[in-house]
Structure 1
């Protein structure tokens, strides 16, 4: 008769200890990762019975744009999730919330914790690549992008892998890619190669994305600018016009088209493009400034003077650019 009562007592003790452990884990996670409004001000439901229930609540809160509540529910889910069971996906969601609210330290912490659980999380690696690249840490960003692409090759059961020193276009061409592949990792890596003046590699990466997303004005815009930087104005114009056909109001595409026309010596066409997106005096100043930085200060002067004539007292930038253009012309004359 005594033995069952002992078993019951032990079971109760174990249950209490497990409850205490889960609660301690939740408090620890909250201390590490929560930085929203006080929990007392959130419309928090009773404790979820499972991690999946907490995740569903978090997703619903995100959909309703209740980010603090979503963050709270996702952290509660972490305390119920064993290692290796979707913890990395939940930590990625936590990192994204923090990033949306510019809490960079906490977003970085969440992403790194996600990689501890799953070093091959493609979304996390891609996002870290974007973040580091925006900060100018291109070497770190490049490694993250390559890891994301390689993790995607594993997902696709493909044997080709990129190395940090990759500079062979054939290797890029051999990569597999589908609708679920990390397009931003390919794009980000392409931008890094463009910055390093390895335009052939950049264009190969952009084309991989374009094969899967042929209607992406963003990809076409990047390809066009890469061709422009490599001196291929014909292909640059072709890709940029294709981007504008998909997104006619894209100011970056309009600006790039103006640059291409200037590179071809078609100044009036460039001016017409700029005048579609800004006031005429601004367009005149833009043309003058770009001609100046392209090494043609003598050609810049008339356009800057016209800009000043149109908006003399309210357009200081044109005055400054005109002074610089005259100075550069004088410097060239005395060489």
Structure 2
């Protein structure tokens, strides 16, 4: 057998292991455009154990693996399907991005999302996911540039409206934020995350009654939603209903933490006497919170001394 024949056989064997029929040139080292989107692990066992005949079959396997909680297999299947295509496809690239995003591989996720959008600029999933990724990096303007066109085209999923609402709140535009959250709820009624965000936005805007209503809907939809319970506690505390605030924040049974948290919020809001009482109760209830609460109390005492007097609201 000649060296050329040996090389041809080796290339065919590699293509079979990868389960694809793409050109051998793409599979050779240094020429695989998808290599940088892999997980760095061996995929030979997947290729031999789960042969496929088409990209569509690989993508179905990827979807099934994701549903089964196996992102390694899913990532392999999506990349295998892409390697079998004549040209890149937006949707599997978007799903590759989702896997990397969930793992905290932000650069790889962003690369996959942007590649998907180069192929299909109207891909709502990739546009939304990239916008959310940029929002997490506090690139508010970049996030807005990807999310707002989806809203304009009427193709925005609820996550896009929700992300735009968060951006607006961060900019102090609470009315605009609430409009986005309401539209998100039109798309996905009763979503606890959006109800929580709407309630907190109303809290920031000083609409205590509206905030309480939205947050109560959030905890009704998900009774284990700790952040929504905490935000509901903030609203009650701001309205002076301290005992109900404590009950809301202490849903997990940690009343000392609840007293400390409500005390800290009271201090930030300038209700210093209330804050001191909460810190003292936290110290009384739990030695575990003695250090934290006593430090907060000392900081509060120092603040009062610098200002020369307490202020009640």
TM-score tier after normalising by the smaller chain length: 0.7 to 0.9
Gaps of 5+ in 1: 1-15, 156-180
Residue pairs, 1:113-192, within 5 angstroms = 113-151=115-153, 153=154, 181-192=156-167
Q: Is the 8 A contact 1:26 1:76 kept in 2?
A: no
Contact 1:83–1:117 (Cα < 8 Å) also in 2: no
Q: Which moved more, 1:310-319 or 1:259-268?
A: 310-319
* Structure-2 separation of matches of 1:310 and 1:273: 17
* CA spacing shift, 1:102–1:303, aligned 2, 3 Å: closer
Following the alignment from structure 2 to structure 1, what is the Cα–Cα distance between the partners of residues 50 and 147? 40
Equivalent in the alignment of 1:164: none
Matches within 5 A, 1:1-335: 22-27=23-28, 28-42=32-46, 44-45=48-49, 48-83=52-87, 87-151=89-153, 153=154, 181-312=156-287, 315-333=290-308
- Structure 1 length normalisation: TM-score? 0.78
Residues paired across the two proteins, number: 289
Q: Secondary structure at the match of 2:189?
A: coil
The SS at the match of 2:206 is coil
Aligned to 1:8: none
Deviations 1:180-239 (A, max 9, x none): x41000000011001111111111111112223332222221111111101111111111
Matched residue, 1:178: none
Q: Deviations over 1:36-83 (max 9, x none)?
A: 421234353576443223222333333443433332222222233244
Change (3 A) 1:268 1:69: closer
Cα distance in structure 2, aligned partners of 1:34 and 1:321: 47
Q: Deviations over 1:216-267 (max 9, x none)?
A: 2222211111111011111111111222222223211211111111211222
- Is contact 2:22-2:84 (8 Å) kept? no
SS of the residue 1:44 aligns to: helix
Structure 2: any 5+ residue segments left out of the alignment? 1-11, 13-19
TM-score in terms of structure 2 length: 0.83
> Does the aligned pair in 1 maintain the 2:114–2:130 contact within 8 Å?
no
21 and 258 in structure 1: CA distance in 2 versus 1, 3 angstrom threshold: closer
Partner of residue 174, structure 1: none
The answer to whether the 8 Å contact 2:147/2:164 transfers is: yes
Judging changes above 3 Å, is the alpha-carbon distance between structure 1 residues 213 and 23 closer, same or farther for their aligned structure 2 residues? same
Partners of 1:261 and 1:73 lie apart in 2 by 50
SS in 1 for 2:23: helix
Q: Answer yes or no: is the 8 Å Cα contact 1:298–1:329 preserved in 2.
A: no
CA RMSD of aligned residues (A): 2.5
Please give the alpha-carbon distance, in whole angstroms, between the structure 2 residues aligned to 1:20 and 1:269: 65
**Structure 1 residue 325: Cα displacement:** 1.1
Aligned to 2:33, what secondary structure does the other structure show?
A: helix
